[in-house]
Structure 1
């Protein structure tokens, strides 16, 4: 259902998504459900709005969920990256999301984030604190940032050149979908009960090869800059928005101690560790993800 203020919308894709003109760029978005409680989902690196499509049908009634592709990802525009990746910085992504909310006529909403979407939301919260309510952060890159070593950044070159390698690496972020021995030796092999999750996973892998170099190489660069600056980490105590941080205990990307630090330093932050899950609860166990989502956002009056 389109709301007032959505004047710059036009249909662009075959999955029900639309594009909006947000500043100097067109961003693709989708929505599920309707109601007075509005939640914006912000996906992670090398990802898209589609990561919650299996979970969204299980979200509670009365919640309207929006998901917007970052610039350079999914169906959004993919401008060429500047040499310093400044047009793909975390601050730039945050400004894009704020601009998207402006065009969509959303003056107040809650946030659901995954991975790098977490630190994007931090910049949004600090820039316009009164615009947001609760935050549900799945395995987030916290305000501390995430530092990459040069050899780790170089590894993205190898991934970009090989679907087989990229698939194997991405399988390690959703490890509960795969037979354990196949994760160690490859190729990653789905468990018999993977069902629709397998199809979504393969589509997600394919999507990574359409993202901009500003994502492949800009995201690790800008996350490292955020970590080295310490700017957002120093402001953690001033973030008053209630946070629910959920983390899979088999997550090989986000360190548990980083999220425990968030819970310690942020005034209203709860931390939950989920056994048997990796980095991507929204893909690995969509109904369980929807359960946490519903517990956090269901029943709110706005």
Structure 2
């Protein structure tokens, strides 16, 4: 386990690969850096993929939340990620995000656009945020108190791993046959999820609701000019198709790919496929801030090619 000091917290960190193309993975709510562990074995060798746990998750510190959970806000997580980049010596990176990691990336884009190249979003929370009603907040409270409840609810985050007819009220979803290695990974992430800090269990839904209600980030979506690929699993029951289409339409430079056969978490449900999208979008391309590219081969691509052919 590696840990790095970033601002006022110590955050868990893992790295896969040591190539010249730096990538930062930002995980989703109740998750961790390890959600790309299986996919990482298929990442191309020219990538150096860094994954950092949010505060309150994985191997990171779990600060006591403020009364309004402001120290677990989306902006706070974005600031933590940028501070981690400083410690890791990463001036500019591509971003790969999952779920709530998508809206954290949007905040990073506004704070430090010059430090970000391309962005690959996997089933992201859009800049519009998500409104959680009190019944949904109650569900998070119940999950925090019961690992069995957590396991049952979190099955919706990787729905293609389970038998479709096993998603019934009061029942525990059952794994499909023949996916032992993915089942083992799911059990690992459930163990991690249940150890999340209180600031995550309630802070995340409350702060996503604040983002949705203020509309400030949604109003600045035109400033999110980085080249973006959005992947959305057609079996995703958490992120709505209409929200992904609206996000892709509103961003200045984005395209949406709707992927059949997977749900909310392709990184766990179909890790080799996910690695293929990462490779196709990022391999061989050094990150450059938007607006810096010149006609013809960019200086960064020339430097990358020279490093590969020297």
2:28 matches 1:28: no
Give the match for residue 110 of structure 2: 126
Give the match for residue 267 of structure 1: 252
| Counterpart-to-counterpart distance in 2, 1:104 and 1:61 | 19
| Counterpart-to-counterpart distance in 2, 1:193 and 1:170 | 20
| Counterpart-to-counterpart distance in 2, 1:255 and 1:237 | 21
Q: Please say which of residues 67-76 and 160-169 is displaced more in the overlay.
A: 160-169
Residue of structure 2 aligned with 1:145, choices 104, 129, 132: 129
Superposition TM-score, scaled by structure 1 size? 0.93
Verify the 8 A CA contact 1:175 1:183 in the aligned structure 2.
Answer: no
Question: Residues 34-54 of structure 1: CA distance to partner in whole angstroms, max 9, x if unpaired?
Answer: 111100000000000000000
Offset at 1:183?
Answer: 2.1
Give the match for residue 31 of structure 2: 47
| C-alpha RMSD of the superposition | 0.9
Q: Which runs of 5+ in 1 are unaligned?
A: 1-12
2:221 matches 1:236: yes
2:275 matches 1:276: no
Q: Which runs of 5+ in 2 are unaligned?
A: 288-310
Offset at 1:184?
Answer: 2.4
Q: Secondary structure at the match of 2:216?
A: coil
Verify the 8 A CA contact 1:143 1:232 in the aligned structure 2.
Answer: yes
Verify the 8 A CA contact 2:130 2:212 in the aligned structure 1.
Answer: yes
What is the count of residue pairs matched by the alignment?
286
| Counterpart-to-counterpart distance in 2, 1:181 and 1:206 | 25
Give the match for residue 203 of structure 1: 188
Give the match for residue 220 of structure 1: 205
Verify the 8 A CA contact 1:239 1:266 in the aligned structure 2.
Answer: yes
Offset at 1:235?
Answer: 0.9
Q: Secondary structure at the match of 1:250?
A: coil
| Counterpart-to-counterpart distance in 1, 2:6 and 2:144 | 28
